[in-house]
Amino acid sequence: MTFSINWDKNGVYVKFRGVVNAQDLIDANNYVISNANFESINYQIFDFLDIEKFKITSYDISIIGIMDKSQTSVKEEMKVAIVTQSDYIKEITTEYDQIMLGSNWETRIFPSYETALEWVSIE
């Protein structure tokens, strides 16, 4: 497994390592949205700072976006923080944002875990 998941009462932190492929991202997303705690959280932080390679295509990110968009009827509002310094991950996140348009899920990109945590902690 190239990721670890840590829950707290308000959110979830997903830390990726090594080579991240589409199945890794889909698996992590499934763990989050199928968890009993999902309905009670306000944020998700996905940390890609320690990865070696990000092997995700536009098609792959559209699958993640469709999975998340389907959850907006269960969880109307959510903050999704992406922690990265990779231009490619930043670019592909804009494709995810396009799928999520019209929902109350908000996505932002941060250079560090600390700045992401600061944002998700603001009510």
| CATH number, residue 115 | 3.30.750.24
Q: In terms of residue numbers, what domain contains 54?
A: 3-120
Kindly give the interhelix angle for 22-34 and 58-71, rounded to the nearest 10 degrees.
10
Answer whether 53's CB lies under 8 Å from 85's CB: no
pLDDT at 1 over 70: no
pLDDT score of 123 more than 70:
no
Q: Are strands 43-55 and 11-21 parallel, antiparallel or unpaired?
A: parallel
Total domains present in the chain: 1
Q: What percent of the chain has pLDDT over 70?
A: 98
pTM strictly above 0.75: yes
- Write down the pLDDT at residue 75: 92
Q: Rounded to 5 degrees, what are φ and ψ at 34?
A: -95, -5
> What is the per-residue pLDDT across 44-92, written as a single tens digit (0 to 9) for each?
999 999 999 999 999 999 999 999 999 998 899 999 999 999 999 999 9
Q: What is the mean pLDDT of residues 37-44?
A: 95
Q: Judge contact between 43 and 35, C-beta under 8 A.
A: no
Q: 102 with 118: CB under 8 angstroms?
A: no
